[in-house]
Chains A and B, each alone.
Chain A
Amino acid sequence: MTIMKYGQAVDFAVAEAMAEDDRVVTWGEDVKLIHRDLLVRFGPERVRDTPISESAFLYAGIGAAMTGLRPVVEIMLIDFLPVAWSGIVNAASKFRDFSGGRWEIPLVVRAGCGGWYTDGGQHEQALWGQLAAYPNINVVCPSTPADAAGLMLTAVETDEVVVFLEHQLLSEQWIDFLAGGSRPTVDLDHLIPADGAQGEVPLPLEQVPLGRAAVRREGSDVALISLGVGAHRCMEAAQVLGGSGIDASVLDLRSVSPLDRDAVVDQVRKTRRVVVVDEDYVQGGLSGEIAAVLLEADVAAAYARVAVEGTIPFAPHLEYAALPNVERIVAAAAGLE
């Protein structure tokens, strides 16, 4: 066991995988500077800066993965992935099937996602729901350093495509780079979940399986289901709800795809009430998917969702109101029959 910060844990797992296997390489914008610790250990052949050419360097990752490398392609922020959308939708998602299952694509797409630190509507999206729609694309967003390291290790070692989302509020690297966290005049501590930003990581690293949720808190009255920072907001909401005699469980999905349907069904069977807390858009995504999972499993439950309903506004108080904050979660849970 050792204590690590969230971003450090991700890089630690990438370093372990790179040390283990020469075929693992990484590239992306500013990668040499941001992941300088990887650069100085593995050299500029395996840790490369790219030009600002997302569509080319993502698609190149697919080509490289089909030709023997195991690339970790970093798309700085998930908001920039849409520039390269075809690589995900038409290539990474399809080529294994097109090859009749003969061509594996061991590609990790690593990107920051998520808000709360006020960076505006083009730099704080989650987009995991849309990514999860495509076949053969695994999508994860860890909420703790241990999960960050464990899921990254799995992501690099699996032969499948994994979109690995690092929540920007939890990552000390992104808070420093994007939120101007280096300013002594700014204090984001009241927004950053402390045990998500830093925590124990098992050594040697343990893989965390794709598609396996984690129960963070047991409860009998209502199930709160989320991931990333949302899982921490749910823990806080559960505390508040406990104060009014409502016993909430918290399920941290960790993976959006594959979705741990069994865990969702198990939790909600116990509580018969569920609130999905999603930092992604409300329509066409995770929150609706969970409702479908419950219907398909014939679980009757009172259902509510707290998600992002429009463009994430820039002004801090508007941003806070637009994101799934504790007050919104508590209100939604308390409002269920």
Chain B
Amino acid sequence: MALPKGLDPASAYRTMVRMRLVEEALTQAWADGLVPGEYHSGIGEEGINAGVLAHLSGRDSMALDHRNTSPLVGRGTDITKIMLEVLGSEAGLNLGKAGHMHLMDPSLPAASDGIVGASGPLAVGAAVANQRLNPGRVAVAFHGEAAMNQGMLMESYNLAVAWGLPVIFVCKDSKWSITTYSAEVTGGDLTDRAKAFGLRVRRARGDRVEDVYAAAGDLIRKARIGAGPGFLHVSCHRPAGHFEGDPIVRLLKNPRGQAAEWGPPIVDSVRAQGGGSRSDRAAALTDLAKRGARAARDYTVRSRMDPIRRGRRLLDPASAGRIEAMETIEVETAITVARETVGQRATFGADSGGAR
């Protein structure tokens, strides 16, 4: 495919590399016990984020979900401040009050919400405000395909169309709802669903930033001139699962260890007196096996469709190498500062040590 007009492949690649490096630094910090609680990385979504963000400028609004680090990195939020926030420091982007699921950058403006589907109504509200106060500015909601089963997001699609709002819904379809296979709990086709609301619909492949760029550009241009809202469906993958430490990923990486933990109680339960029939129990075991097999396919095989690897092909290797080297230095500097600030705590809690 010829590159779409207006796309600067070096800039898109730089954005994606920066996102990936920040995510990798944070997932490593999580594994090292420096990030408390959960961490949902955006690894695998860089093509989507970079392709959409390339069209945003000035004070266009972003409403983000629990995978919000990469979009903020792409919009230029200070990465040291993001890292400090995620590591639980008062010197962080949100003074240590938010944590990674709720990163806020009013200067963009960008808001994150850990409640699935909430990015939809937030973006709709921003679009109403933009329509009245700042014509020409758009609002973008990022959400997963699983959020399309949440009422408030569906209500937002309708509101966006009914009010003709400058809003674009970007659906990042990883095929997984937390650790449930989305198709198992979803009826119909998602793009058909969006079309039925009257949204202008485009599709793209998330591992091809140029593809996302072209599709998003069309929707965003139209929204900007008042021609109404859009819906962009983009496929993507989720190699780390729902979040770091995802039990299915643990099973895939260490089948023997996980089986030793999960196996005995499962065997006891299958054999237990009282309960379902033999066929109920067999159906349940098939169900679990199917989930594992699907995860193996989606988390590992499909994740070879890496937006960074494909994006690299859009420029010459020497330029790509220069970009990688520069971004690596910046990201390493930032994570070093963040790690030093919180100290090498092995635990968290009040008496866990480390200047935070």
Contacts and interface: CB of A to CB of B under 8 A. Distances in A.
Contacts, number: 213
A157 interface: no
Interface size class of B (residues with CB under 8 A): 35 or more
B31 A41 contact: no
B151 A185 contact: no
Given A40-B288, A317-B356, A118 B99 contact: yes
Contact of B283 (A43, A52, A321): A43
A328 to B, nearest CB: 11
A185 B38 contact: no
**Most B CB within 10 A of own CB, among A37, A38, A116:** A37
Contact of A183 (B31, B98, B186): B31
B285 A53 contact: no
**Most A CB within 10 A of own CB, among B96, B97, B113:** B97
A19 interface: yes
B277 A43 contact: yes
Nearest to B116: A52
B67 to A, nearest CB: 15
A217 to B, nearest CB: 24
B350 A320 contact: yes
B248 A33 contact: yes
Given A83-B150, A117-B36, A316-B88, A186 B348 contact: yes
A36 B288 contact: yes
B247 A42 contact: no
B128 interface: no
Contacts of A180: 30, 35, 37-39, 244-245
A159 interface: no
B256 interface: no
A231 B287 CA distance: 40
Contacts of B266: 36-37, 40
Contact of B97 (A44, A83, A313): A313
Given A118-B88, A187-B347, A316-B349, A41 B281 contact: yes
Interface residues of A, number: 62
Given A32-B180, A36-B266, A183-B31, A56 B151 contact: yes
- The secondary structure that dominates the B interface is loop
**Most B CB within 10 A of own CB, among A20, A53, A314:** A314
A201 interface: no
A50 B146 CA distance: 11
B276 interface: yes
Contact of A318 (B96, B244, B265, B346): B96
Given A30-B179, A49-B184, A315 B89 contact: yes
B125 interface: no
A43 B269 contact: no
A180 to B, nearest CB: 4
Contacts of B276: 41-43, 45-46
Contacts of B285: 40
Given A39-B287, A43-B281, A316-B349, A53 B151 contact: yes
Nearest to A48: B185
A95 interface: no
Interface string B154-171: 000000000000000000
A60 B36 CA distance: 35
Closest 5 pairs (CB-CB, A-B): A43-B280, A185-B33, A314-B99, A315-B96, A19-B274
Given A180-B37, A314-B98, 11 more contacts: A29-B178, A37-B269, A49-B180, A118-B36, A123-B38, A176-B247, A179-B36, A180-B35, A188-B349, A315-B92, A315-B96
Interface of B: 30-33, 35-39, 85, 88-90, 92, 94, 96-102, 113-117, 146-147, 149-152, 177-180, 182, 184-186, 244-245, 247-248, 250, 262, 265-266, 268-270, 272-277, 279-281, 283-285, 287-288, 291, 346-352, 356
30 contacts: A19-B272, A29-B177, A33-B247, A36-B262, A43-B281, A44-B283, A49-B185, A50-B185, A51-B149, A51-B185, A52-B147, A53-B149, A54-B150, A55-B151, A121-B102, A122-B114, A123-B38, A178-B38, A180-B35, A185-B33, A186-B33, A311-B97, A313-B96, A314-B37, A314-B88, A315-B88, A315-B356, A316-B36, A317-B88, A318-B97
